[in-house]
Amino acid sequence: MDYLSFKRKIDKGIIQPAYLFVGEEDFLAEAGARAVINKVLKPEDQTLNLSVYYGAEAEGLAEALTVLPVFAQRRVTLVRQAGELNGKNLQAVASYLRAPPDDGCLILVAGKIDRRREFFNEMNGLIEPVNCVKLKSKQLSPWMKDYVGQWDKRLDSGALDKLAAVSWPGMRDLADELERLTLMVGDADVIRAEDVEELGATSFAFVRWTLTDAVGSGDMIVTQQALENLLNWNIKPIQIIGDLYRLFHHLWLINWFSRRRKLDDAKGIIKIHPFVFKKYIGYTRKTNQKSLEDGILRIMEADSNLKRGLCRPEEEVRLLTLELVRMISGSGN
């Protein structure tokens, strides 16, 4: 089961007797566990009816699974690092899953699946896992709407597009950005695209996107500002060069398919957010294929210079971005 399907069921009040959260996105797993707990137990009932254990140190877990709820309809047992369960505790969990009680709810947060561990092999076929992986761009909008909704905030379409277009390292980074935005807009009900542009610079992921967007649009001032911010945050020049290569490679592909009137084919190959794809189409109309090819060659040269130690990295990436902006803004169809 994917995370959004799980969340829709929880929001509708459909509660299962047990949940297994797996995958590298620990933020989603913890958020999912908390959503289950809050749906099953009122805040005042959690003290007596919520037990938390950790896989390698889950002493008493087997006994806890048989304890009845106190002044509540259900009791919740949360096991973090569940992938480390073994022996008596693992067998108790397996027995619970084979015949789950009506008055209990077991939550297992296990992390990335590792078939070398006994736990994951034991769970196979006993419970359908909730896969906590980084959400795809088309899945981000409903998740973001739901996330800011807990503070009674909304995101307008422009804000959703801008945030979904960023290549976030992980869901926790995006959540942190959303929380900062909800705080910074104060009493305003709606977070607008303008708020994201003005306040989103607190995130290095957003600034990395801002840099490539500025280069693609030929905006020298914003390019220089974004680049210096990234260098001040100690983002490695080689990472910046990688971002620039992806930008020019995408622009080259869009230009190539556009000239052949096959932009739909480009969408299938590039697989970037529709908001970004639309912007990139506009950027390619201001340049030509030769300039894009020259840009790719220059990026490859800079990459080689860095890896061979032939230059000072920060100076090379400053010179590179300057030249790329000039290639974009100085060329035409």
The Cα–Cα gap between 270 and 251 comes to 10
Q: What is the CATH number of domain 204-330?
A: 1.20.272.10
Give 206: exposed, middle or buried? Use CB within 10 Å, 0-12, 13-18, 19+.
Answer: buried
The Cα–Cα gap between 17 and 128 comes to 12
pLDDT at 298: 96
Which residues, 6 or more positions from 166, have their beta carbon under 8 angstroms from its beta carbon?
Answer: 174, 203, 205, 206, 208, 209
Pair 65, 96: CB distance under 8 Å: yes
- Other CB atoms closer than 10 Å to residue 323's CB: what's the count? 15
The Cα–Cα gap between 109 and 29 comes to 7
Q: Residues of CATH 1.20.272.10 domain(s) within the chain?
A: 204-330
pTM greater than the 0.75 cutoff: no
Give 266: exposed, middle or buried? Use CB within 10 Å, 0-12, 13-18, 19+.
Answer: buried
Q: What is the mean pLDDT of each run of 10 residues along the chain (333 residues)?
A: 94 94 94 94 91 87 89 92 91 93 93 91 93 89 92 92 85 87 84 79 71 92 91 89 93 92 84 82 91 95 93 95 91 56
> What CATH class has 137-202?
mainly alpha
Pairing mode, strands 75-80 and 50-54: parallel
Distance of CA 122 to the CA centre of its chain: 29
Whether domain 3-131 has CATH 3.40.50.300: yes
pLDDT at 184: 75
pLDDT at 149: 92
Q: Residues of CATH 1.10.8.60 domain(s) within the chain?
A: 137-202
And the tokens for 211?
A: 């840099």
The Cα–Cα gap between 282 and 276 comes to 10
Tell me the CA end-to-end span of the chain in Å, nearest whole number: 48
